[in-house]
Structures are given as C-alpha cells and as structure tokens.
Amino acid sequence: MPSPTIPEARSETLWFDGDFIPWDQARVHVLSHALHYGTSVFEGIRCYATANGPAISRLEEHVRRFLHSAKIIRMPLPYTLDELGRACSEAVAVNEMGECYIRPIAFRGAGEMGVLPKNCPTHVAIGVWPWGAYLGEEGLKQGIDTMVSTWTKVAPNTIPAQAKIGGAYVMATVAKIEAVEAGCAEAILLDSDGRVAEGTGENIFVVYQGRIITPPLSNSILGGITRRSVMQLAVERGYEVVEQAVSRELLYMADELFFSGTAAEVTPIRTVDRLPVGTGKPGPITLRLQEDFFDIVKGRVDDRHRWLTPVAPAGAAVD
Ligand code: PMP
C-alpha cells in the first residue's frame, strides 16, 4: 500500500495514542467508525518561528475547542487539556520543526459496525508539517477571488457549527472544489436563512463605512480563534467592531472584506462573484489588522495577550 506521504511537507514522526511513531506507520483500520460515519474531531494550530524559537499560537484555546468538539459528539477523549497541549509542543520539538501546522485529530476506531459506536475506541493523533500561506503568499498580499457557494452551510440543528467535526467538512470540500473549478481560491457559504456564514475554513469580516462587521455565532459559524484575535486587535486600534447578521448584498457593497483563520491567517478578499471589493485591492483596515496579527504571532512585538506558547527543545525539562 502506498504510504500517505505529502512530498516535502511531512515530519519524521507523529504522536499516535500517546507515543511517537514513524510517519509511515500511522495507519487506521478500514472499518474505523470515523471512516464510515464521519465521527472525528480535529483542530488546526499554527506554530510560528520567532526570534526566541518556535512558539504555538493560542494553544490552550485550540485544545479546549478540541475537547469541546469531542464532548459535543459524545466521543470520550482519554487525555486532558494539559496532556494534549504538551503533546502538541512535543510533536513540534521532536520533529525539530520551526514554522509549522499542527493537526490534532480524535476519531472513533474499529469496533462493532453500525451507526451506534459500540466498542469503538477513541484514537488520538497529532501530525505536524510545514505549511505555507493556505490561500497563497500572493493571496495574503493581493487578496483572493471568491464566490458565494451554491452549497448552504449545514443548519445549526443538523451538524453543530461550534464543533470541528470531520463529517461536516464534506460540505466544505464540495464547496471548495466548486470554487476552485470556477477559478476562485475560496467559497463563501450562506447559512440556512441566506445570511453570510463563513468560508470553508475561515471566518469572514466586512468593513463597511468605517465599521468592522462579522457574523455572530448564531449564523452557523465556527467560533474562530483567529476571529477573536482579530476582533481584539481591531478594538485596540479604535475601530468599532460589531457582530451582526451579514446579508449577501453587503458583500457587494463592502469597502473591504477579509477572511480570518489559523490556516488562512488574515487574507484579504479582492473579488466576490467577479465583482471587485471596494477598489479591488486590499484595503487599509485589512492591511493594518493583518500586520498587527503577524507582528504578534511572529514575535515581532511584545506578546501582550500571552497568545504564544514557546516550544521547549525535545528532551528539555518541563516543569
Ligand atoms: N470556520 C471554519 C469552518 C473553520 O474550519 C475554521 C478553521 N478552524 C475557521 C472558521 C477559523 O477558525 P480558527 O481561527 O480558530 O482557525
């Protein structure tokens, strides 16, 4: 069987059920419950190279959301917040990574077949790999092209939006394929009431007449951790930030639009449905917040919010 390698972007080892094992040996059984019914939860975390070594951005919040995701789908997780946080740091250190992406995943393994997960043990793995700008280096600078998806974000009383559940990303995947086939970098999904929800893996912000508007959690969005960071940075800059339902047409009227996300960071949007956003170039507020965000996570300024967790070198004593 060919090994599931991503050329270049891989690490030597992965953390799997409590131990570090070689990348190629991180296998699952084909009758795993998660493979059939989508019963997995995951996180996406970034580690940045700072002048003082690698540092993980908002580690505790990510691990807490991971635990909540598992609880929401009633999947027992046999590790604590501290244990998982430490395992994430160790995965970076053991693989001698600098700037990288960290992907914890928990899933129901093989047990009795059927929807009811009977005797399906929870497995937990953490992979790390170098991952550049998710929507492209050019996208970070020039902005990206987007379309409003023909797919609708799953309604909140179907698959919960607050949990990062593997199965829910089938909708995200088809929306993303549709967008890419239409020549766009990303899709914007509306919720079941036709309001703007989010991207397939990003939250969305609208700048309109000097105010910064982002959909509330009740519009079927994930409570993004980068979303919270951006809101905080915007308030610190003196901008008015409101969580408010966003109509589709506001996307076309907006002065600026941008996505936030761990993978996407702060990415300007330059077109929606082929219409230019504002001038068609990333706007000043977007660029200001993007710079403020990178200044903190890359350790260029004081980490005044304590967002960064420094990664101790492998083998270093941890108190
Ligand atoms: N929405 C969705 C659907 C996502 O998958 C993500 C990525 N985790 C986000 C928003 C952004 O969240 P965060 O800033 O916590 O990465």
pLDDT per residue as tens digits for the range 34-49: 999 999 999 999 999 9
- The answer on 186 and 95 residing in a single domain is no
In three-state secondary structure terms, 168 is helix
Contact indicator for 65, 41 with CB cutoff of 8 Å: no
Q: How far is the CA of 112 from the centre of ligand 1 (A)?
A: 32
The backbone torsions φ and ψ at residue 85, rounded to the nearest 5 degrees and listed phi first, read -60, -45
Task: Give the model's pLDDT for residue 318.
Answer: 53
Give the residue, by CA position, lying nearest to ligand 1 atom 4. 201
In a domain, 293, yes or no: no
User: CA-CA distance, 87 to 83, in Å (whole number)?
Assistant: 6
User: CA-CA distance, 284 to 20, in Å (whole number)?
Assistant: 45
Task: Give the model's pLDDT for residue 1.
Answer: 43
- The answer on 104 and 18 residing in a single domain is yes
Which tens digits make up the pLDDT trace of 194-223?
Answer: 999 999 999 999 999 999 999 999 999 999
- The answer on 211 and 254 residing in a single domain is yes
Residue 214 to residues 141, 145, 186, 203, Cα–Cα distance (Å): 21, 19, 18, 8
Q: How far is the CA of 89 from the centre of ligand 1 (A)?
A: 21
Range of the domain at 43: 6-129
CATH number (domain holding residue 206): 3.20.10.10
Give the residue, by CA position, lying nearest to ligand 1 atom 7. 201
Closest by CA position to 61, among listed 188, 214, 177, 164: 164
CATH number (domain holding residue 96): 3.30.470.10
In a domain, 314, yes or no: no
Residue 19 pairs with which residues in a beta bridge?
A: 16
- The answer on 150 and 277 residing in a single domain is yes
Give the residue, by CA position, lying nearest to ligand 1 atom 6. 201
Task: Give the model's pLDDT for residue 156.
Answer: 84
- The answer on 158 and 34 residing in a single domain is no
Number of domains in the chain: 2
Contact indicator for 61, 225 with CB cutoff of 8 Å: yes
| Most informative mutation of 169, 226, 228 for ligand 1 (most atoms within 8 A of CB) | 226
The backbone torsions φ and ψ at residue 19, rounded to the nearest 5 degrees and listed phi first, read -125, 155
Return the ligand 1 atom nearest residue 222 CA.
1
Angle between helices 59-72 and 81-94 (to 10 degrees): 120
* Core vs surface per residue 232-269: b (16+ CB within 10 A) or e: ebbeeeebebeeeebeeebbeebbbbbbbbbbbbbbbb
User: CA-CA distance, 166 to 202, in Å (whole number)?
Assistant: 16
Of 129, 158, 183, the position where a domain reaches its end is 129
- The answer on 278 and 141 residing in a single domain is yes
In three-state secondary structure terms, 204 is strand
Residues of the chain below pLDDT 50: 1-5, 7
In three-state secondary structure terms, 292 is helix
In a domain, 297, yes or no: no
Sign, CA dihedral 226-179-176-174, equals: positive
Q: Which two tokens stand for residue 299?
A: 């350790």
In three-state secondary structure terms, 166 is helix
| Most informative mutation of 202, 205, 225 for ligand 1 (most atoms within 8 A of CB) | 202
In a domain, 264, yes or no: yes
Catalytic residues: 164
Q: Which residues line ligand 1 (CB under 6 A)?
A: 44, 198, 201-203, 222, 224-227, 260-262
CA atoms within 13 A on the CB side of 266: 28
Return the ligand 1 atom nearest residue 225 CA.
15
Q: Which two tokens stand for residue 23?
A: 């990348």
- The answer on 190 and 165 residing in a single domain is yes
DSSP tag of 239? -
Task: Give the model's pLDDT for residue 6.
Answer: 53
Q: How far is the CA of 263 from the centre of ligand 1 (A)?
A: 8
**Pairing of the two strands 40-42 and 45-50:** unpaired
Closest by CA position to 125, among listed 21, 9, 261, 8: 21
- The answer on 192 and 231 residing in a single domain is yes
**Kind and range of the H or E element at 212?**
strand 211-214
Return the ligand 1 atom nearest residue 164 CA.
5
User: CA-CA distance, 36 to 196, in Å (whole number)?
Assistant: 30
The backbone torsions φ and ψ at residue 106, rounded to the nearest 5 degrees and listed phi first, read -125, 135
- The answer on 141 and 122 residing in a single domain is no
Stated pTM of the model: 0.95
